[in-house]
């Protein structure tokens, strides 16, 4: 017998956070994100049964089946996961919601719902597993493909890319980050902070499609990503149960998260970005577009001040299914009052 | 006070025998002119005089400027379906006045603005020219308000002319303007002015009169949409997501008003309901399904174009077995169609909505009682059968004022269906989300957040087995959809059963929803005028129970009456019970106007002649 397995602060082993066996192509960037999600939820000690994992349709949207088997999953319809997540979040505000989407699922068919999700501030970690193509339908360009990017068959994308981070910030999202599935270290820290955030978190994660978009001429390949990733700072997260009050005595900027703990960023040698500065974030992202040499990753923007949708709507703390009938069905007197008003 | 008119026609014709408590009034006016309050005042006053009454608002898809008509039917026998013939016409719209006059039957009474000079158009109707424009200048010093106040003048004139009690007019107005005392005074004064003018200028006995009776005691007047909203409130709705569309908006808008009064938690001050105006119908139904999956009693209200957008999600609800209540207040399609006119045009579309093999329970309310009660039926069935249930209302029921008995306080507890909690999951042997444990095709579900580590499952619209695992196995697929089919068919036994009236006649009528009012009257016409006795079955839900087969088989000729072009309900009966199809003949009405009795009785007479 070996030693007792390592457990997190609620006494669960990482095994309890795993999911089914992935059926994605070997080496697909999405699988890396899946594994990072497992680590993040494990390290954060989230109770698996309190998690709702939702998705639309696509290779990326299949991945909720591959993490957190003890959580409730909902693989819905193409581009409409935001609405399903909004309904679930309103029905039971105790749930921890994670939504997985793709660049097709979000930036084309689901653009309308994405926009309105960002406006509403539904507590949801919204991850776009961004590979610049529609993987599941065999590699057509998506709306996040860069101008000039080439498909395997030589087709060149002539249209400008939609920048989901810029949109999210402009639409009021309070936690916006960009990462790369080959940069697990950074992604893990961002995910942990997102779990503690409590509002909508938009994570645009470059996630190469090894089958349809990993070739020379692609700007969403592993090679391109590794050569061009430009972290804008170092990101870290200090959980609440460790150090309730973080007070760094260095050049780190820490932002307390509503769900406990703090996210921090630390300047790198020749770059620095304070994620509390919205204008700076938008400027940074705009400059990224004019700059083919680098794609910036890190915590673009964070603002924990905004009220969640449920607070804004004055929703009760308890799940709606738990409301007893006398709180739902008005009394006979009230019925008389209603009837009297119709006479 | 204005000068009494000197127009010679105002010496009204004299009728020896007035027609009492059998009349329809039509007000022809311009949209956006504020005539709705005036028309409702007339309607409510007649109602309070104890006379059965209904109002139909025949309005354009427009905010201001296009012609609109409001018809009120008062009938001592309780016939309140739309009647095509107009007895008392109030012409306030110069644009349509000539046609309006041309359309009334001989003997009608026409009240009109003096300046329209209609009196020469016909000599077989009674004209009452009234100097409305002159009068309104005297009653209402504020120019901007005259357009609205002029409507109250015709209320006064009509009240005097046909005998509506002024006290009841005052009561109705007091109710309508309960929060606006200044407006109340102005309107009361305008009614008085119209009344006085009529007293001073109209002599002789008019042909149509109302007289107090006692047939509305205890009743209420309400629109179907409001009744449905009240039904949803008492049925325990906890989430409503919607996107505005005529004629359904007032379902959710009424619910918003009710929730503000009756769903604020007295202890916490929190809202015990979530109402979200979504960005479109796709999002509305997505929210409904997400919320229902997480345990809310959730609904949306929409109309045809919204259902078209929702179709993909409706298939998901069916196949992944997530409850949803959709109130479809139908309007005239296809496409934008006649958006402010009524139709039973989505009958087929909703019953088999979405791609693949699907079938959805539908409820067909015919009156206010059912608009209210079927709300709870819909929520209970959606959760019991874990599927989308349609409450198939229409513009006629939803947006018009109908007379009804007060709502009965619900006797039934809420049926939340087969939901396993932590204990239930612990006790269940080898639980599988889509397993048919009880032989009724209905599986047990669990709600996200249930502790104990046993209830988690994966909901998906792709192929799945009994344990909710992904599969592309053809056998597993077929077994699953067969079970769902059995489950849905099983709902036929618990959904509202057809109502049958009469037996033993050769002719059977089948109808549903708002055709009911016209059918009752048409059957009386057929019996009294044509000697044709009929039996009548009213369908109240889909899937169909066996009693529909029994009814068809027991009749030589069966006419299926419906408000659409294609005879959709007849098609559905024919599809579900193909051997019966040859026995069914359609009677169809699809002008966008509510169905009237004469259309039905004339069709039956002509078909019976052809047949025999
Ligand atoms: C309504 C609808 N239209 C089209 C499709 C086909 N479809 C499935 S996945 C997909 C694109 C997925 O792309 P993306 O979201 O980028 O996911 P990826 O596979 O690249 O991870 C499309 C078009 C569908 N499932 N539903
Ligand atoms: S097709 Fe592309 S996106 Fe889909 S699983 Fe394969 S590598 Fe991943
Ligand atoms: Mg993609």
Per-residue pLDDT tens over the stretch A147-161: 999 999 999 999 999
% of chain A exceeding 70 in pLDDT: 97
Task: Kindly state whether B179 is in contact with chain A, defined as any CB-CB distance less than 8 angstroms.
Answer: no
Q: How far apart are CA A66 and CA B343, in angstroms?
A: 48
Nearest CA residue ID for atom 8, ligand 2: A28
Alpha carbon of A225: minimum distance to chain B alpha carbons (Å): 33
Q: Is the dihedral of CA B365, B367, B371, B376 positive or negative?
A: negative
Q: What is the DSSP code string of B20-71?
A: ESEEEEEEEEETTSSHHHHHHHHHHHHHHTT--EEEEEE--SSSSSSEEEEE
The response to whether residue A58 sits with its C-beta less than 6 Å from ligand 1 reads yes
3-class SS of residue B255: helix
Q: What pLDDT shows up at residue B60?
A: 87
Q: To 5 degrees, how large is the angle CA B474–CA A57–CA A29?
A: 110
3-state secondary structure B196-236: HHHHHHCCCCCCEECCCCCCCCCCEEEEHHHHHHHHHHHCC
Q: How many whole angstroms from A133 Cα to the centroid of ligand 1?
A: 9
The response to whether residue A211 sits with its C-beta less than 6 Å from ligand 2 reads yes
Alpha carbon of A216: minimum distance to chain B alpha carbons (Å): 34
Q: Beginning with the edge strand found earlier in the chain, give each strand of the sheet holding B388-394 in spatial order.
A: B274-277, B239-242, B298-302, B324-330, B388-394, B362-363, B541-542
Give the phi and the psi of residue B22 in degrees, each rounded to 5: -140, 90
Residue among A325, A335, A342 minimizing CB distance to B221:
A342
Alpha carbon of B481: minimum distance to chain A alpha carbons (Å): 18
Judge whether B526 and B559 are in contact, CB under 8 Å. no
Q: How far apart are CA A293 and CA A311, in angstroms?
A: 43
Judge whether A237 and A192 are in contact, CB under 8 Å. yes
**Is A72 in Cβ contact with B448 (below 8 Å)?**
yes
Of B198, B188, B207, B118, nearest in space to B158 by CA:
B198
The response to whether residue A204 sits with its C-beta less than 6 Å from ligand 1 reads no
Q: How large is the angle between the packed helices B166-176 and B181-201, nearest 10 degrees?
A: 160
Chain B residue whose CA is closest to A331: B409
Task: Kindly state whether B265 is in contact with chain A, defined as any CB-CB distance less than 8 angstroms.
Answer: yes
A52 CB neighbours in chain B (<8 A) are: 294, 448-449
Chain A residue whose CA is closest to B263: A328
Scan for tokens 């796709």, then name that residue.
Answer: B282
Residue A81 pLDDT level (bands cut at 50, 70, 90): very high
3-class SS of residue A314: coil
Q: What pLDDT shows up at residue B4?
A: 37
Of A168, A163, A146, A127, nearest in space to A29 by CA:
A127
Chain centre distance of CA B25: 21
A116 CB neighbours in chain B (<8 A) are: 278-279, 283
The response to whether residue A104 sits with its C-beta less than 6 Å from ligand 1 reads yes
Q: How far apart are the first and last CA of chain B?
A: 65
Six token digits for residue B162: 């046909």
Nearest CA residue ID for atom 1, ligand 2: A135
Nearest CA residue ID for atom 5, ligand 2: A24
Six token digits for residue B154: 């015709």
Put simply, whether the predicted model's pTM sits higher than 0.90 gets the answer: yes
Six token digits for residue B98: 């000539």
Does CATH number 3.40.50.300 belong to domain B222-404?
A: no
- Please tell me what DSSP assigns to residue B122: -
Give the phi and the psi of residue B128 in degrees, each rounded to 5: -125, 90
Residues 6+ apart with CB under 8 A from A279: none
The response to whether residue A25 sits with its C-beta less than 6 Å from ligand 2 reads yes
Task: Kindly state whether B121 is in contact with chain A, defined as any CB-CB distance less than 8 angstroms.
Answer: no
CA dihedral A275, A276, A279, A285 (to 10 degrees): 20
Task: Kindly state whether B283 is in contact with chain A, defined as any CB-CB distance less than 8 angstroms.
Answer: yes
Judge whether A52 and A74 are in contact, CB under 8 Å. yes
Scan for tokens 């026409």, then name that residue.
Answer: B110
Q: How many whole angstroms from A232 Cα to the centroid of ligand 3?
A: 24
Task: Kindly state whether B461 is in contact with chain A, defined as any CB-CB distance less than 8 angstroms.
Answer: yes
**Is A70 in Cβ contact with B241 (below 8 Å)?**
no
Q: What pLDDT shows up at residue B12?
A: 47
Q: How many whole angstroms from B523 Cα to the centroid of ligand 2?
A: 66
* Other beta carbons within 10 Å of A8: 16
Chain A residue whose CA is closest to B233: A329
Work out whether strand A253-256 and strand A262-266 pair parallel, antiparallel, or are unpaired: antiparallel
What are the residue ranges of helices labelled H in B432-471? Answer: none
Alpha carbon of B102: minimum distance to chain A alpha carbons (Å): 36
Q: Give the residue from A47, A56, A90 with the most B CB atoms within 10 Å of its CB, the best one to mutate.
A: A90
Q: What pLDDT shows up at residue B63?
A: 84
Residue among A69, A87, A325 minimizing CB distance to B289:
A87
Judge whether B83 and B593 are in contact, CB under 8 Å. no
pLDDT tens digits for A25-39? 999 999 999 999 999
Q: How many whole angstroms from A78 Cα to the centroid of ligand 1?
A: 6
Buried b (16+ CB within 10 A) or exposed e, B459-471: bbbebbbbebbeb
The CATH code of domain B19-209 reads: 3.40.920.10
**Is B289 in Cβ contact with A76 (below 8 Å)?**
yes
Give the phi and the psi of residue B126 in degrees, each rounded to 5: -95, 115
**Is A70 in Cβ contact with B456 (below 8 Å)?**
yes
pLDDT tens digits for A43-66? 999 999 999 999 999 999 999 999
Residues of chain B whose pLDDT is less than 70?
Answer: 1-16, 205, 612
Work out whether strand B388-394 and strand B362-363 pair parallel, antiparallel, or are unpaired: parallel
Of B122, B66, B123, B71, nearest in space to B99 by CA:
B122
Residues 6+ apart with CB under 8 A from B499: B537, B538, B540
Six token digits for residue B527: 């019996």
Interface contacts A/B by beta carbons within 8 Å = 220
Nearest CA residue ID for atom 6, ligand 2: A25
The response to whether residue A209 sits with its C-beta less than 6 Å from ligand 2 reads yes
Q: To 5 degrees, how large is the angle CA A141–CA A146–CA A152?
A: 45
Chain centre distance of CA A260: 18
Q: Count of alpha carbons within 13 Å of A144, Cβ hemisphere only?
A: 29
Identical fold between B222-404 and B499-611 = yes
Q: How many whole angstroms from B353 Cα to the centroid of ligand 1?
A: 22
Chain B residue whose CA is closest to A109: B282
Task: Kindly state whether B391 is in contact with chain A, defined as any CB-CB distance less than 8 angstroms.
Answer: no
The response to whether residue A57 sits with its C-beta less than 6 Å from ligand 1 reads yes
Q: What pLDDT shows up at residue A298?
A: 98
Q: What pLDDT shows up at residue B6?
A: 36
Of B213, B47, B82, B221, nearest in space to B521 by CA:
B82
Given 3.60.10.10, 3.40.50.970, 3.40.570.10, 3.40.50.10490, which CATH number is that of A14-312? 3.40.50.970
What are the residue ranges of helices labelled H in A8-141? Answer: 29-44, 59-62, 81-91, 103-107, 111-120
Of A324, A329, A327, A322, nearest in space to B412 by CA:
A329
pLDDT tens digits for A244-297? 566 788 889 999 999 999 999 999 998 899 999 999 999 999 998 766 678 999
Domain boundaries, chain A: 14-312
Task: Kindly state whether B149 is in contact with chain A, defined as any CB-CB distance less than 8 angstroms.
Answer: no
CA distances from B368 to A131, B172, B394 (A): 54, 21, 12
CA dihedral B342, B388, B366, B562 (to 10 degrees): 50
Q: Count of alpha carbons within 13 Å of A339, Cβ hemisphere only?
A: 19
Q: How large is the angle between the packed helices B132-139 and B181-201, nearest 10 degrees?
A: 140
Domain boundaries, chain B: 19-209, 222-404, 422-493, 499-611
A320 CB neighbours in chain B (<8 A) are: 238-239, 272-274, 291, 294-297
A338 CB neighbours in chain B (<8 A) are: 230, 258, 407
The response to whether residue A257 sits with its C-beta less than 6 Å from ligand 1 reads no
Q: How far apart are CA A108 and CA B193, in angstroms?
A: 63
Q: How many whole angstroms from A107 Cα to the centroid of ligand 1?
A: 11
Ligand 2 atom with least separation from CA of A129? 3
Six token digits for residue B106: 């001989």
Alpha carbon of A167: minimum distance to chain B alpha carbons (Å): 17
The response to whether residue A31 sits with its C-beta less than 6 Å from ligand 1 reads no
Chain A residue whose CA is closest to B287: A87
Of B115, B91, B93, nearest in space to B31 by CA:
B93
Q: How many whole angstroms from A128 Cα to the centroid of ligand 3?
A: 9
Architecture of domain B499-611: 3-Layer(aba) Sandwich (3.40)
Q: How many whole angstroms from A100 Cα to the centroid of ligand 1?
A: 13
């Amino acid at each position: 017998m070996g030693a007792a397995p390592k457990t997190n602060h609620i006494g669960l082993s990482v095994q309890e956070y795993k999911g089914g066996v992935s059926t994605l192509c070997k080496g697909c960037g999405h699988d890396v994100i899946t594994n990072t999600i497992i680590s993040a939820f494990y390290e954060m000690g989230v109770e698996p049964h309190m998690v709702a994992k939702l998705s639309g349709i696509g290779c990326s949207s299949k991945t909720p089946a591959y993490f957190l088997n003890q959580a409730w999953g909902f693989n819905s319809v193409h581009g409409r996961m935001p609405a399903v997540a909004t309904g679930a979040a309103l029905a039971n505000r105790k749930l921890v919601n994670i939504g997985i989407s793709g660049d097709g699922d979000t930036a084309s068919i689901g653009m309308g719902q994405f926009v309105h999700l960002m406006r509403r501030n539904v507590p949801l970690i919204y991850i776009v597993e961004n590979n610049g193509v529609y993987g599941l339908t065999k590699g057509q360009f998506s709306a996040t493909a860069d101008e000039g990017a080439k498909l395997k068959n030589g087709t060149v994308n002539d249209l400008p890319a939609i920048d989901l981070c810029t949109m999210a910030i402009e639409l009021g999202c309070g936690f916006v980050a960009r990462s790369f599935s080959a940069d697990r270290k950074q992604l893990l820290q961002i995910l942990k902070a997102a779990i503690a955030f409590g509002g909508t978190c938009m994570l645009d994660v470059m996630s190469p499609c090894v089958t349809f978009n990993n070739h020379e001429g692609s700007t969403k390949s592993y090679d391109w990503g590794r050569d061009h990733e430009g972290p804008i700072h170092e990101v870290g997260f200090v959980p609440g149960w460790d150090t309730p009050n973080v007070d760094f005595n260095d050049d780190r900027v820490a932002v307390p998260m509503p769900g406990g703990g703090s996210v921090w960023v630390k300047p790198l040698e020749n770059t620095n970005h304070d994620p509390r500065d919205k204008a700076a974030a938008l400027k940074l992202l705009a400059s990224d577009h004019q700059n083919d040499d680098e794609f910036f990753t890190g915590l673009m923007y964070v603002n924990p001040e905004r009220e969640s949708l449920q607070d804004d709507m004055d929703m009760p703390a308890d799940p709606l299914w738990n409301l007893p009938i006398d709180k739902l069905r008005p009394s006979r007197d009230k019925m008389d009052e209603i009837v009297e008003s119709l006479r | 006070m204005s000068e009494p008119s000197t127009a010679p026609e105002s010496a009204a014709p004299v009728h020896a025998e007035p027609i009492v408590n059998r009349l329809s009034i039509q007000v022809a006016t311009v949209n956006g002119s504020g005539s709705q309050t005036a028309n409702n005042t007339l309607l409510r006053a007649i109602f309070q005089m104890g006379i059965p009454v209904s109002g139909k608002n025949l309005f354009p898809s427009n905010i201001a400027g296009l012609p609109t008509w409001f018809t009120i039917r008062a009938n001592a026998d309780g016939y309140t379906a739309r009647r095509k013939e107009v007895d008392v016409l109030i012409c306030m719209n110069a644009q349509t006045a000539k046609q309006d006059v041309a359309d009334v039957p001989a003997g009608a009474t026409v009240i009109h603005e003096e300046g329209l000079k209609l009196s020469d158009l016909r000599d077989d109707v009674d004209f009452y020219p009234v100097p409305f424009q002159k009068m309104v200048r005297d009653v209402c010093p504020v120019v901007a308000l005259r357009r609205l106040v002029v409507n109250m003048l015709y209320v006064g004139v009509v009240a005097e002319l046909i005998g509506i009690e002024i006290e009841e007019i005052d009561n109705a107005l007091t109710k309508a303007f309960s929060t606006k005392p200044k407006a109340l005074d102005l309107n009361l004064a305008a009614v008085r002015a119209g009344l006085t003018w009529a007293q001073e200028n109209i002599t002789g006995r008019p042909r149509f009169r109302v007289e107090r009776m006692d047939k509305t005691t205890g009743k209420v007047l309400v629109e179907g949409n409001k009744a449905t909203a009240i039904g949803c409130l008492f049925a325990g709705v906890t989430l409503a997501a919607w996107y505005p569309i005529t004629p359904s908006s007032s379902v959710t808008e009424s619910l918003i008003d009710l929730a503000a009064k009756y769903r604020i938690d007295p202890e916490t001050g929190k809202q015990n309901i979530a109402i979200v105006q979504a960005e479109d119908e796709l999002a509305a139904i997505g929210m409904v399904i997400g919320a229902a999956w997480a345990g809310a009693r959730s609904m949306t209200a929409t109309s045809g174009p919204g259902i078209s957008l929702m179709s993909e999600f409706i298939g998901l609800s069916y196949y992944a077995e997530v409850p949803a209540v959709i109130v479809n207040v139908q309007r005239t399609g296809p496409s934008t169609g006649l958006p402010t006119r009524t139709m039973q045009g989505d009958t087929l579309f909703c019953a088999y909505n979405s791609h693949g093999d699907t079938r959805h329970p539908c409820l067909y309310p015919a009156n206010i009682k059912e608009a209210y009660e079927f709300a709870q039926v819909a929520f209970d069935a959606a959760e019991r059968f874990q599927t989308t249930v349609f409450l198939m209302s229409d513009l006629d029921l939803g947006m018009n004022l109908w007379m009804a008995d007060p709502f009965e306080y619900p006797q039934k507890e809420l049926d939340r269906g087969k939901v396993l909690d932590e204990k239930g999951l612990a006790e269940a042997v080898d639980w599988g989300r889509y397993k048919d444990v009880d032989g009724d095709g209905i599986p047990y579900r669990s709600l996200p957040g249930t502790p104990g580590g046993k209830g988690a499952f994966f909901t998906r619209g792709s192929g799945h087995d009994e344990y909710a695992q992904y599969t592309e196995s053809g056998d597993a697929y077929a077994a699953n959809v067969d079970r769902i089919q059995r489950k849905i068919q099983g709902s036929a036994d618990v959904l509202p059963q057809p109502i049958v009236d009469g037996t033993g006649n050769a002719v059977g009528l089948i109808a549903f929803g708002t055709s009911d009012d016209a059918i009752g009257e048409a059957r009386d016409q057929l019996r009294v005028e044509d000697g044709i006795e009929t039996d009548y079955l009213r369908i109240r839900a889909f899937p169909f129970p066996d009693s529909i087969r029994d009814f068809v088989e027991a009749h030589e000729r069966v006419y299926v009456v419906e408000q659409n072009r294609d005879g959709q309900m007849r098609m559905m009966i024919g599809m579900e019970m193909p051997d019966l199809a040859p026995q069914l003949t359609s009677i169809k009405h699809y002008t966008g106007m509510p169905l009237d009795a004469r259309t039905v009785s004339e069709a039956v007479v002509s078909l019976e002649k052809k047949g025999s």
